[in-house]
Amino acid sequence: MSDLINNVKASFKQVLDYEPTHVVQAPGRVNLIGEHTDYNDGFVLPCAINYQTVVAAAKREDNQVRLVAVDYNNDTDAFNLEEPIEFQDDKMWANYIRGVVKYLLVRGYEFNGVDIAVSGNVPQGAGLSSSAALEVVIGQTFKVLYDLDISQEEIALNGQQAENEFVGCNCGIMDQMISAKGQKDHAMLLDCRSLESTSVSMPEGMSVVIINSNKKRGLVDSEYNTRRQQCEEAARVLGVKALRDVSIEAFNQKHDQLDELVAKRARHVITENARTEEAAKHLCW
């Protein structure tokens, strides 16, 4: 991590011509169990990993926000807090940051401009939540620089809102929440409806092995949004707010009302919720 910090600080100095005052980081994550349950108001069991997104930053006296993307050959972006914050078709990396800042303002937080250089070693498109780590680290940066009275939960929710409404991916809350609240040597059992979370100690001597298949994917252009629409359709037909509210017994009685593929999606979510709660119990033993 020291190389990552040194590189982002060096790029800040090289492009912006002065030294940053703060360095902030947020981790990526792996989900142990609880797949496609978060956006169905269900349970998930993720843990933070030792790959992260790092920001070097400093406050400004004006309302300008200047960005440096170290991992994109020091590509830059800039916008003014007093003007509409707009989507950039040619700078997708910047839209995650722009979205986070926009919704911090919408939520009523007050701050001046910031200079930011950002870099990370969370593999992009590998399912380790590089976008959530970026959203959380930006929210955390504004919190630290301007002493904002914002909880880690709201930093996560703000990041989710940015990804949903600004970037255009209808993601759930799991990725941002574990990035904002993850603890060393612990998983987190998260109720994605109430946002109540419980730290689950990982057994001593246990290692989590993460294998990168090198097959790129991104939530925005993947089948993710399609899966979510299918689950929402199942909930509508079954007469509930979310699939979290359906027992396997109730599903078995009504599954023939669903399209075959939609029923397959729903069955997974309903049974996965039960598996996730059981997994958390067994980790604690």
Report phi then psi at 253, rounded to 5.
-75, -25
Quote the CA–CA distance of 22 and 20 in Å, as a whole number: 6
The amino acid at 7: N
Tally of CB atoms within 10 A around 249 = 8
For residue 68, give Cα distances in angstroms to 9, 13, 59, 91, 120: 11, 10, 15, 11, 12
Considering the candidates 38, 41, 77, 175, report the single residue annotated as catalytic.
175
Quote the CA–CA distance of 232 and 236 in Å, as a whole number: 6
For residue 236, give Cα distances in angstroms to 229, 231, 232: 10, 9, 6
Does residue 191 carry a catalytic annotation?
no
H or E segment to which residue 200 belongs = strand 197-201
239, with CB counted inside 10 A (0-12, 13-18, 19+), is exposed
Residues annotated as catalytic (active site), given as ranges: 175
